[in-house]
Every structure is written in structure tokens, then in C-alpha cells.
Amino acid sequence: MGRCKGNAENDCATNTVFSPLSIASTLTMLLMGSSGNSYIQLRSALGYHNDANDVDINGAYKFLMERVKRMDVEAGSSILLSIANGLFSQKQSRFTDDYINKAKEYYQSEVNELDIIRNPYGSANVINRWVSDKTKGKITNILSSLPPDTQLVVANAVYFNANWADPFTPDVTRREDFHVSSSEILTPLTMHTHSMVAYIENEELGCKMIGMPYKGEELGMFILLPTEKQGLASLSRLEDKLTVEKLEHMFSRMEAKTVAISLPKFRIQQKLQLKNVLRGLGVTDLFSPSSADLSRMTSKTGVALDNIIHQTFIEVTESGTEAAAATVLNLSRDGPSKTFAANQPFLFIIRDIPSKAVLFFGRVVRPGDATRT
């Protein structure tokens, strides 16, 4: 899945959360406005198949965005999910009408022009208010200011709040040991339940995984836990081995089992500056005024991307999950009860099961609200 070793923005020893779906939709919206080498570099980084054309790609995201909106309405108060894309440009760097129409149609994007040169602080506040509104006030200060020469900012906001299909019982939540490493033990509030969930063990990866559905059972949180009890070292080895293909293989073979689950409550908020990440993937032209080709987005030359900012908030409690930033299961109900005690660092994935889209991916190394022993 891509080791975090050597990446200062995504260090292995820290909690991490981001939304692959929302980041990909933002970058694909940029792809729709780029041409030439800028287009080639970005498309390569996104990993789209050669036989997928722009119509196919944009249509797929339109379907997903409409699905998210429909899911939000159909689930009522049990699931709230919103993914918002916003493009903010300096006034003189005007977007073409064709690009604006496509961004709204396929990505439900909001396009705004700001006077960044004359009022960089005020422009940053406009973006901050937009993000705060889209995340129900969970993320309030994504920008402190903008450099006055900023031409284009891409902002993305995700908000997710869902109730478990089978909630944990608050009465049995208690502080228990969580082994970050052999020398660091925390005592977070740990939730308990005994219920039927999707389950699999994988000897090759040295892990087991459960899938806990949210109400409506189209969305679920999947937790990968190393079987070795060596804390962060075990998680690092799992991350070294894990690939998208191996993860999909596990999803396809999960079975319903009765499982005794222990899971710490956790809360993570993270801001990611994606400029260096994209450069590492070969996307360089978009950030250079002399090389960027955004001619399908704006008629003005010399317009380059200043940065891509992604901030996510997530909180997991007894009733469900709040966050801001499958293959059909083979259900076989036979077999003895399993135990799943997440008392050491683990990975989590929030996934739309029918479409296989990953809404959130994260790592819990130190659960929030934990105390040291």
C-alpha cells in the first residue's frame, strides 16, 4: 500500500487519516483541465488504464458523487456523508465556461474567483469558511494565509458521520492497555462487543481483518490487525507486505463470524500538503508557471497549481464514526467464535462496499484520549 518510511508527512510512528476517494476526485478534476505533458504526468500518477478515456473517467466520478448524495438522503439521520471539491483562483486567471460546466456536472464542484493579490488573508478566510461549512465546523482553519502570488488553490473537504449497524455498549467501555511498543503502553478507553461481522485471517500478511457495517450495511469499517504482538514493529511489517491486490483478495474471501471485538475509541485530525507527494509521483509540470498546461481550464497562460491541501477529521465511538476530510461477502455462519483485540497499532479502511470505493484510509498508533502507564 506504500510504506511511509522516509516520508516526513506520513511518518510510520504517527496516527494518519486521509480520503483516497476525495483526493482522487480532486486530482481527476484537475486532469480534466490539463493538456500536454501536464496531463500525461497526472494521469500516470493516478494510474488510470490506457483504455479509459476522459468520458469514462469523468462519468465514473459523476456516478460516485451522485451515489454519495443519494446515500446521504436514503440513510436519513443514520449516515451523513459529503465530499466537496472547491477551486479557488486569482480573478485574472479566469476559468473557461466549458471547464466550469464540466466541473459542476461531473464533480459537483464549486468554482470561485478571489482577489488573492490584494487580499491574501481575506482570500484564505473565504476558503476556511467554505471548508468549515462543508465539514459541519469540524475543520475550521485549513489555511493561515495565502502567498500573494497564488494563482490556483484546490481545496477538498470530507465529512462523514455514521452509526454502527450493531453499536458497542457504552456500559462496558473501560481503560485497557494498548501496546504501541515494548517500551510504550497506553490505556485508552476501549469498547467491547460480541457480534456477527465479516472476518478473515491471512497467514502470508500476518494479520486478521474484521468488517463492521454501518446502518444500511452499504458502508463498513474494516480493521487490519497484525497477529504478531510487537506493536508498531508488527504494523510496519504488515505495511511493507500489503498491496491493493492483496487487500482486494482479502475482501473477496471474508466470511461472517461471531467475533468478540475490543476496539479503542480514537480521534484523528490531519492536514496533508500533497504538493511534494505528487512531485514524488512525477507530477512536476503542474507546479511550474513555465511548464504547466492548464489550457482546458483557463485561457490565461502561465497559470500553475500552487498547492493541494487535504485535511481530514475522524472520530470513532460506541455509537459510530464521525469523520471530516466490495465484492459481495461470502457469508458462512459456521465455526467457533473469534477474538479480535485491537490492543496494538492497526490500520482501518472505511469502504463503500457495492462500488469498492475507499472513503478513508488510516493508521492508529496512539488512540486519542489515552494515558500512559
CATH code for the domain of 69: 3.30.497.10
Q: Which residue bears the cell 477551486?
A: 87
27 with 69, same domain: the answer is yes
Average pLDDT, the chain: 83
Please report whether residue 3 resides in a domain: no
Could you tell me which residues come within 8 angstroms of residue 148 by beta carbon, excluding any fewer than 6 positions away? 116, 117, 120
59 with 15, same domain: the answer is yes
237 with 353, same domain: the answer is yes
CATH code for the domain of 333: 2.30.39.10
Model confidence band, residue 188 (pLDDT cutoffs 50, 70, 90): very high
Q: Cα separation of 41 and 274, whole Å?
A: 15
Count the domains in the chain: 2
More confidently predicted of 305 and 15? 15
187 with 303, same domain: the answer is no
User: How many other β-carbons are positioned within 10 Å of the β-carbon of residue 363?
Assistant: 22
More confidently predicted of 12 and 353? 353
Which amino acid would we find at residue 51? D
Give the per-residue pLDDT at 328. Answer: 24
Please report whether residue 107 resides in a domain: yes
Q: Cα separation of 355 and 181, whole Å?
A: 36
143 with 214, same domain: the answer is no
Residue 48 has phi, psi (to 5 degrees) of -75, 145
145 with 248, same domain: the answer is no
User: How many other β-carbons are positioned within 10 Å of the β-carbon of residue 271?
Assistant: 16
146 pLDDT higher than 70: yes
Model confidence band, residue 1 (pLDDT cutoffs 50, 70, 90): low
245 with 301, same domain: the answer is no
291 pLDDT higher than 60: yes
Model confidence band, residue 78 (pLDDT cutoffs 50, 70, 90): low
Burial class (CB in 10 A: 0-12, 13-18, 19+), 241: middle
303 with 338, same domain: the answer is no
158 with 170, same domain: the answer is no
147 with 38, same domain: the answer is yes
Give the per-residue pLDDT at 325. Answer: 52
Arithmetic mean of pLDDT, 285-305: 87
Arithmetic mean of pLDDT, 219-229: 93
Please report whether residue 51 resides in a domain: yes
Arithmetic mean of pLDDT, 166-186: 91
314 pLDDT higher than 90: no
54 with 172, same domain: the answer is no
Give the per-residue pLDDT at 76. Answer: 54
Give the per-residue pLDDT at 342. Answer: 93
Model confidence band, residue 280 (pLDDT cutoffs 50, 70, 90): very high
What is the value of pTM for the model shown?
Answer: 0.85
Instruction: Say how many Å lie between the first and final Cα of the chain, rounded.
Output: 32
Q: Cα separation of 210 and 173, whole Å?
A: 19
224 with 179, same domain: the answer is yes
Range of the domain at 332: 165-265+326-364
Q: Cα separation of 104 and 88, whole Å?
A: 14
pLDDT, tens digit, 9 for 90 and up, residues 80-121: 777 778 888 888 777 888 998 998 888 888 888 888 888 889
Please report whether residue 1 resides in a domain: no
